[in-house]
Amino acid sequence: MPGTRFSRALPETPRLMIPPASPADRASPEVRFGALFEQAPVSIQILAPDGRTLRVNKAWENLWQIHEGSALRAHVFSADYNVLRDPQLIAAGIAACLERAVAGESVTIPAIRYDVAALGGTGPARWVTARAHPIKDSHGNILEVMLMHEDISERIEAETALRTREERFRILVMATNQIVWTNTPDGRVLEDSPSWRAFTGQTYDEWKDFGWLDALHPDDRDGTRALWTACVASRSVFETRYRIRRVDGCYRWMAVKGLPIVDANGAIREWIGANADIHDMVTAQAGLQEQDRRKDEFLAMLAHELRNPLAPISAAAEVLKFSAADEERVRLASMVIGRQVRHMTSLVDDLLDVARVTRGLIQLETACVHVMDIVASAVEQARPLLEARGHAFAIDGDAGGAQVLGDAHRLVQVVANLLNNAAKYTPRGGRITLALACHGAAVTIEVRDNGIGLDHQLLPHVFDLFTQAERSPDRTQGGLGIGLALVRHIVAMHGGTVAAHSGGPGMGSVFTVTLDTVAPDAAGVSASSETAKQTG
């Protein structure tokens, strides 16, 4: 094995010359050994008991790129180079192994990366293992040590490359929020997946084989199992989405893709796959689709609501065409036209309010307002509908002299909308109550009915635009589905809150508005201060 850098070229040690074999000695052991030594594919270096190099074969020259006639080869054979004093071999602990060999022990030399550039050579550094075997005479004296090298550079490079790829893979897994997994060729889980266990909370024993299916949503298990089985059988890409139970018990939507890894013989070696959390995207898409559905329904309702008044208006106009029509018929026709025009005007006003709300253009004309005045005006507006549907209406409680700082017109709109909503969604002859109460520095206005109630799925969205309960088959009840959305926005602009409650379908509904009150002695100051702001 090469060693320290040489300082000068020395005369080359003569090679062992083996004379041409004559027919008589062609099969002699010396000839056979010489031929075997030179032609052996394994690198062989013969050492003297003191560590000097005595002889090398062609495989050694090719391994280290130290060829006959070169100055470096002459140096290796000179007295200036000794394997027992080679700095690289000493640093790697190899020299100590060689000491044991020259002492008479057959020794396996561990792998070492030896760089001939340290000697001034030009060959590449090589990874080698070696075997040092002492050659003894009949008396046990050490004559030579035969050092045989095995070049393992390609194997080491392949292992290093594999470790590098594995390390990159581990870093990638750690750097991503994806779940990464591997399966056997027949589709079972055998290798552990820390990312899967961390997400689902399953132990290895729970998730191995096909236990991973237990972490899926019950509605997704059968379909996923069938698709996975089919993909394994057809050796095709497994791609789907399903819900996985997270360690906290919540289910999350996952996009899943698994690929078969094929070996050199075309057989599947394993499956590798990854799960990406797409829950937020899926729920956002579902919310956008729901919003589109509601808008489509709103447009249908709008067309219906605007068309409804046209029939009576058209009929009344036909009556007015006849000059011979009596005065009473003209009066009734005029009333119909007026009533339907007011209805259409109300629809258009609601649409304009929606446009102002969504664009943030509603302006409040703020002043101190008595709560009972707001209630009285709202009841006056809603009474025609309440009476037309034959509802029993009552006011429960009293706000006393409580006042709030706000826009009287908009606050009346809030209460009137709640009363009209109760009237529309309560079957004829129902019971509607408006309850009032003061709680410290706040007042509550509550509208209760014994109408159709609210489904638990609708309840969280009841104040969203274009949301409404089920309409009757003839579409006579309901509206545009924007009244409660306006209520929420107007109440929020006054710093208050509005809440809805229902026991479920057929159990009626309760809508509660809560507003901060102003002290009576501060009402005048607040109002004048607000007026100064408006006029200033």
- The DSSP code sequence of 373-441 is HHHHHHHHHHHHHHHHTT-EEEEES--TT-EEEE-HHHHHHHHHHHHHHHHHTS-TT-EEEEEEEEETT
Report whether pLDDT(365) > 80: yes
Report whether pLDDT(13) > 70: no
pLDDT of residue 531: 38
Work out the angle at residue 279's Cα, subtended by the Cα atoms of residues 278 and 284, and round it to the nearest 5 degrees. Answer: 100
Buried b (16+ CB within 10 A) or exposed e, 382-403: beeebeebebebeeeeebeebb
| HEC secondary structure over 95-135 | HHHHHHHHCCCCEEEEEEEECHHHHCCCCCCEEEEEEEEEE
Report whether pLDDT(6) > 70: no
42 forms beta bridges with: none
pLDDT of residue 476: 43
Structure tokens at 65: 């790129």
List pLDDT tens digits, range 65-107: 999 999 999 999 999 999 999 999 999 999 999 999 999 999 9
The CATH class, in words, for 176-277 is: alpha beta
pTM for this prediction: 0.45
Sequence-ordered alpha helix ranges (H) in 244-368: 279-307, 310-321, 327-359
pLDDT of residue 172: 65
Can you give the C-alpha Rg of the chain in angstroms? 48
List pLDDT tens digits, range 475-529: 344 455 678 888 998 999 999 999 999 999 999 999 999 999 997 655 454 444 4
Predicted confidence band of residue 11 (pLDDT cuts 50, 70, 90): very low
Predicted confidence band of residue 437 (pLDDT cuts 50, 70, 90): very high
Q: What is the second-level CATH architecture of the domain 362-535?
A: 2-Layer Sandwich (3.30)
pLDDT of residue 123: 86
pLDDT of residue 329: 80
179 forms beta bridges with: 275
Q: What percent of the chain has pLDDT over 90?
A: 54
Mean pLDDT of the chain: 84
Region of poorest pLDDT, from 28-37, 39-48, 120-129: 28-37
pLDDT of residue 467: 62
Phi and psi of 509, rounded to 5°?
Answer: -140, 155
Which residue bears the tokens 């790129």? 65
Structure tokens at 13: 């040690």
Which residue bears the tokens 């309010």? 353
pLDDT of residue 38: 86
Tell me the C-alpha to C-alpha distance, in Å, between residue 170 and each of 455, 457, 464.
49, 44, 46
**Mean pLDDT score, 153-164:** 86
Predicted confidence band of residue 460 (pLDDT cuts 50, 70, 90): confident
- The CA-to-CA distance between both ends of the chain, in Å, stands at 99
Region of poorest pLDDT, from 233-237, 349-353, 357-361: 357-361
Higher pLDDT, 481 or 51: 51
pLDDT of residue 22: 56
List pLDDT tens digits, range 188-216: 998 888 889 889 999 999 999 999 999 99
pLDDT of residue 7: 40
The CATH class, in words, for 29-156 is: alpha beta
Region of poorest pLDDT, from 52-66, 264-278, 462-476: 462-476
- The DSSP code sequence of 161-177 is HHHHHHHHHHHHHHHSS
Report whether pLDDT(285) > 70: yes
pLDDT of residue 240: 95
Structure tokens at 48: 């003297």
